[in-house]
Amino acid sequence: MEVATNNALSGRNLITNIYIQRVLGQSAKDIIEAQNRVLSSANPKEKKNIIASRRYVVSGTQLNFTHSKQQRFIDMRRVAGRKRKSIPLHNKVIYKEFSNIIAQIKFGLTEDVQYLIANEYNLHM
């Protein structure tokens, strides 16, 4: 009986990990799409470097998102004491998506979603 319980727990953990990987992968794509929309409307001079340096990797239940240093500072109004027009490329987009990730992981893994993932991977719950 204990073996069956351990298998069920490992199956649930696997389903949870698969769900988290899907959420993180979709969120990374959403970040890139939102940033592309902001970049196309603002058209900064660093646009090519920002686009070329972005990449993401979802490994396990972690999302590693890499971007250029310019992307981090492009949304600041003051840089080196000078005022300039800010472009809401980094903080607004990233933190909005963080909130979405938290909500999806907290509320999105319903029993229906678990059964769909289990059927897709032929797992027994």
Asked if the structure places residue 45 within a domain, the reply is yes
Write the DSSP string, 59-72: ETTEEEEE--HHHH
Asked if the structure places residue 86 within a domain, the reply is yes
Asked if the structure places residue 108 within a domain, the reply is yes
pTM (predicted TM-score): 0.83
Phi, psi of 66 (to 5 degrees): -110, 140
Per-residue pLDDT, averaged over 48-71, amounts to 92
Q: Under 8 Å CB-to-CB from 114, ≥6 apart: which residues?
A: 12, 15, 19, 125
Asked if the structure places residue 49 within a domain, the reply is yes
Asked if the structure places residue 125 within a domain, the reply is no
Q: Which tens digits make up the pLDDT trace of 29-55? A: 999 999 999 999 888 888 899 999 999
Asked if the structure places residue 104 within a domain, the reply is yes
Q: Which domain does 104 fall in, by range? A: 2-120
Q: What's the structural domain count of the chain?
A: 1
Asked if the structure places residue 106 within a domain, the reply is yes
Element (H, E) at 56: strand 55-59
